[in-house]
């Protein structure tokens, strides 16, 4: 009964932002203090653990204050966290949230859409997100999170589909800020978006870049992902805000962990696939020493390696 009352309270918060301050005790007790990285750009930093740690607050969200409205990038992993993000934005500006871009449709980045959709913001995602939404994985993940992240994800939690999809690239000016959004295609997910605040040289990368923890590879396209990371290292940006971990001013610094890890997993599994070595044997024979101390290694590394192994097998079959 307590969980049910808590869920009803969170839903009420999503309906009216004016009640947030009065009902703060109904929100997850996490620190969501916005960090300013440039004149117009801010972000909130989740923890470095796995999906159900820190009340589900394990990813980043970012926003741009333009003078005529706010542009948000990702909404976090529960409706309650979305409400708390909206409240955090309100500590910086009273400007209305005009657009919400979702880097990709993985659960830890978009269940907060409910709060922003209720506020009237336009929700926008990569065209590739259609494949995720039309498949069965999205609903399977929601069912799992209703158990593993209860009561913060419950029967009232729903997947809010985008109002529209981006193909290729779009540019727009809002207030005093020029913004460029690029659909990278399938890399970390079925469809990945990045957002560039052109006036400030700030890039919101989503999960194309992980910092301070082992990346989650899932069913990613490792070859495409590596090519994008190589391009990012050469990009003329002042600050990169990753999907997980601290923002950094040096592209080389922040790209290196994800690129080096992805390249190492791919090379190690490629050798195994080429030599017809079974996955379990290949995994045990691989030296993971450079990565074993990072958060989420135990939870994610074996699954990552297996996913890459399977994708390389498929690549090998396709090339014949």
Residue 116 is assigned to a structural domain of this protein:
yes
Tell me which DSSP letter residue 29 carries: -
Residue 300 is assigned to a structural domain of this protein:
no
Q: What is the pTM of this model?
A: 0.89
Coil/strand/helix, residue 78: coil
Q: Please say whether the beta carbons of 138 and 97 come within 8 A.
A: no
* CATH code, domain carrying 212: 3.60.15.10
Query: How many Å apart are CA 132 and CA 139, to the nearest integer?
Result: 10
Query: How many Å apart are CA 135 and CA 159, to the nearest integer?
Result: 13
CA 166 remoteness from chain centre: 17
Query: How many Å apart are CA 217 and CA 237, to the nearest integer?
Result: 25
Residue 283 is assigned to a structural domain of this protein:
no
Residue 199 is assigned to a structural domain of this protein:
yes
Number of domains making up the chain: 1
Tell me which DSSP letter residue 190 carries: S
Residue 295 is assigned to a structural domain of this protein:
no
Residue 268 is assigned to a structural domain of this protein:
no
- pLDDT truncated to tens, each residue of the chain (320 aa)? 334 333 433 443 443 333 333 355 679 999 999 999 999 999 999 998 888 999 999 999 999 999 999 999 999 999 999 999 999 999 999 999 999 999 999 999 999 999 999 999 999 999 999 998 988 899 999 999 999 999 999 999 999 999 999 999 999 999 999 999 999 998 999 999 999 999 999 999 999 999 999 999 977 888 899 999 988 877 779 999 999 999 988 877 789 889 999 999 999 999 999 999 999 999 999 999 999 999 999 999 999 999 999 999 988 777 66
CA 168 remoteness from chain centre: 19
Q: What domain range includes position 220? A: 2-256
Coil/strand/helix, residue 251: helix
Residue 180 is assigned to a structural domain of this protein:
yes
Residue 19 is assigned to a structural domain of this protein:
yes
């Amino acid at each position: 009964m307590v969980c049910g009352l808590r869920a009803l309270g969170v839903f009420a918060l999503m309906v009216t932002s004016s009640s947030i301050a009065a009902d703060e005790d109904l929100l997850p007790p996490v620190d969501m203090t916005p960090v300013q990285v440039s004149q117009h750009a801010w972000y909130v930093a989740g923890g470095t653990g796995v999906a159900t740690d820190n009340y589900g607050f394990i990813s980043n969200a970012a926003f741009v204050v333009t003078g005529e409205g706010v542009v948000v990038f990702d909404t976090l992993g529960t409706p309650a966290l979305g409400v708390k993000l909206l409240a955090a934005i309100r500590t910086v500006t009273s400007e209305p949230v005009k657009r919400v871009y979702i880097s990709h449709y993985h659960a830890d980045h978009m269940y907060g859409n409910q709060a922003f959709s209720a506020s009237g913001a336009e929700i926008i995602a990569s065209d590739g997100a259609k494949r995720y939404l039309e498949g069965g994985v999205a609903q399977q993940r929601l069912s799992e999170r209703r158990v593993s992240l209860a009561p913060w994800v419950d029967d009232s939690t729903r997947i809010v589909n985008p109002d529209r999809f981006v193909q290729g690239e779009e540019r727009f000016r809002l207030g005093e800020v020029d913004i460029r959004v690029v659909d990278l295609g399938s890399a970390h997910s079925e469809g990945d978006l990045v957002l560039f605040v052109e006036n400030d040289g700030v890039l919101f990368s989503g999960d194309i870049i992980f910092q301070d923890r082992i990346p989650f590879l899932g069913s990613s396209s490792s070859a495409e992902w590596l090519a994008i990371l190589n391009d990012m290292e050469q990009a003329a940006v002042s600050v990169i805000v990753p999907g997980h971990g601290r923002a950094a001013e040096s592209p080389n610094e922040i790209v290196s962990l994800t690129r080096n890890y992805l390249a190492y997993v791919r090379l190690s599994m490629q050798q195994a696939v080429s030599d017809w070595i079974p996955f379990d044997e290949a995994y045990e024979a691989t030296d993971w020493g450079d990565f074993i101390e990072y958060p989420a290694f135990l939870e994610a590394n074996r699954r990552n390696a297996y996913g890459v192994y399977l994708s390389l097998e498929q690549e090998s079959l396709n090339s014949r």
